[in-house]
């Protein structure tokens, strides 16, 4: 059984800033690209089931910088990420094979994925530069 941990004030502050920055960045690109009109959970990541401000999600996200131990991540961070992914519309379209997903839905997921690589998320290898993101895209292009 896992002990419930509470984030520190500093962890809460870092997490809040990260969520607002990411949500704003994704919303900026969705607006510029004219995407996401079908997503009922906007602004991105902060409304609807599994939103990043819901305590069960927020708590784990705030703890993500506390330890680099994979077991800590598995026990305290990943469950919150999974709640977020299962509850958010764009993750339901992007992360799971979904025949209902439209091209727009997939593009919203792609914008989120690219913007998430700009964030300092240890579980994704930290913050990536635009050049590193281009390399990741090239490595994952279909043959």
Between CA 94 and CA 32 the distance in angstroms is: 20
**What is the pTM for the complete model shown?**
0.89
Question: What letter would DSSP give residue 79?
Answer: H
How many structural domains is the chain composed of? 1
| Structural element, H or E, at residue 75 | none
Residue 96 — φ and ψ, nearest 5°?
-125, 140
pLDDT of the residue at 110 = 93
Q: What domain range is 39 assigned to? A: 9-139
One digit per residue, the tens of pLDDT, for the chain of length 143 reads 567 899 999 999 999 999 999 999 999 999 999 999 999 999 999 999 999 999 999 999 999 999 999 999 999 999 999 999 999 999 999 887 789 999 999 999 999 999 999 998 888 889 999 999 999 888 987 77
Between CA 138 and CA 128 the distance in angstroms is: 15
pLDDT of the residue at 61 = 97
pLDDT of the residue at 74 = 96
Pick from 143, 131, 141: which is nearest to 110 by CA? 141
CA atoms within 13 Å, Cβ hemisphere of 25: 15
pLDDT of the residue at 1 = 56
pLDDT of the residue at 140 = 83
Residue 124 domain flag: yes
pLDDT of the residue at 96 = 79
Residue 3 domain flag: no
Residue 56 domain flag: yes
Residue 109 domain flag: yes
């Amino acid at each position: 059984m896992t002990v419930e941990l509470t984030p520190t004030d500093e962890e809460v502050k870092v997490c809040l800033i990260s969520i607002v920055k990411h949500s704003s960045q994704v919303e900026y690109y969705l607006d510029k690209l004219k995407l996401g009109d079908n997503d009922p959970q906007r602004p991105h990541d902060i409304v609807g089931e599994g939103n990043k401000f819901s305590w069960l999600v927020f708590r784990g996200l705030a703890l993500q910088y506390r330890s680099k131990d994979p077991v800590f991540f598995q026990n305290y961070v990943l469950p919150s990420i999974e709640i977020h992914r299962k509850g958010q519309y764009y993750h339901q379209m992007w992360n799971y094979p979904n025949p209902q997903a439209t091209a727009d839905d997939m593009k919203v997921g792609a914008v989120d994925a690219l913007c998430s690589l700009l964030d300092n998320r240890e579980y994704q290898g930290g913050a990536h530069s635009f050049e590193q993101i281009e390399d990741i895209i090239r490595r994952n292009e279909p043959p």
